[in-house]
Structure 1
Amino acid sequence: MRQQIKHWLLISFGWLCVLLAVLGALLPLLPTTPFLILALACFAESSPRFHQMLLNHRWFGPPLHQWQQSHTIRRTVKFKAMLLIVISFAISILMLWGRPALQLMLVALCLLLLGCVFRLKESEPD
């Protein structure tokens, strides 16, 4: 019974992550790749069919396959992610003009995210 509950929870969370990733592809401030990686991990534990479906997807498949094989990302993807983080946090900080405590919190969170992305290994250039 516990195993079946875990199975359905992982599938449900995986599909929620796919939905958020699709929204992230349409909305500039919502990330796509982390949600797809989470979905891939959920499906790897719960549904080989859905796992393979993500890996075979025309748009999402190649970067996910690269991540699964080598835990690396392309340099251009890394640069774009860091640029989007800076732009989105800059807009948020400007929107909170006059609230220095919240602005400092956003600066700290931005630096933390940039550090995490910076530490990701890059794939070898083609």
Structure 2
Amino acid sequence: MRRTLYKPLGLACLALGAAGVVLPVLPTTPFVLLAAWFFARSSEAWHQRLQDSELFGPMIRNWEEQRCVSRRTKWVGIGSMLLAGGASIVFALSNPWARAGTAALMLVGAIVLGSIRTCPQAADTAPPARGSE
């Protein structure tokens, strides 16, 4: 059951997370962490692939080992949210309720991201991927 349900969900979350790398409106971190969670329960091979990834591996290891997110990840997340959301508010939305709603969602996102524990400085510099020594 887990394999049939969790693996496709992991793949979908990974696709959304990968899209978030190039689309600043889509958050990368939560989708990649969720994909890692699904893969840890359904496919050790996919979970290991994510952990070994240069792009996502350090973030996943920080979360799995220390339940924290690096300072850089927080700044990139909040910065891209401000850029994309701010541009939407200024250039794309004319309805004041839509602007207020977008600003409120950005605030909630920033509060959630800010409330996650920040990794100690040493964890911000990622350890080498497993098997690369």
How big is each residue's C-alpha offset from its partner over 1:77-125, in whole Å with a ceiling of 9 and x where there is no partner? 211211111111111112112x111111111111111100110111111
Matching residue of 1:51 = 47
Question: Could you tell me which of 82, 93, 98 is aligned with 1:96?
Answer: 93
Partner of 1:23: 19
- 1:16-53 CA-to-partner distances (Å, cap 9, x unmatched) read 11112222223333222211101001011112221112
Q: Distance in 2 between matches of 1:77 and 1:51?
A: 20
2:81 counterpart of 1:85 = yes
Separation (CA, whole Å) in 1 of partners of 2:110 and 2:41:
29
Q: Which residue of the other structure, out of 96, 116, 119, is the alignment partner of 2:115?
A: 119
**Taking every aligned residue pair, what percent have the same amino acid on both sides?**
29
Point out where structure 1 has 5 or more consecutive residues left out of the alignment. none
Unmatched 5+ residue regions in structure 2?
123-133
Cross-structure match for 2:37: 41
- Please report the RMSD computed on the Cα atoms of aligned residues, expressed in angstroms: 1.4
**Aligned counterparts of 2:19 and 2:89: Cα–Cα separation in 1:** 23
- SS of residue in 2 equivalent to 1:122: coil
CA contact (8 A) 2:10 2:39 kept: yes
Q: Which runs of 4+ in 1 moved over 4 A?
A: none
Matched length: 121
Give the deviation of 1:66 after TM superposition: 1.1
Instruction: Give TM-score scaled by structure 1 length.
Output: 0.87
Q: Once structures 1 and 2 are overlaid, which stretch shifts more, 18-27 or 69-78?
A: 18-27
Residue 34 of structure 1 aligns with an amino acid whose one-letter code is: P
Q: Hey, what's the Cα distance between the residues in 1 that align with 2:55 and 2:69?
A: 15
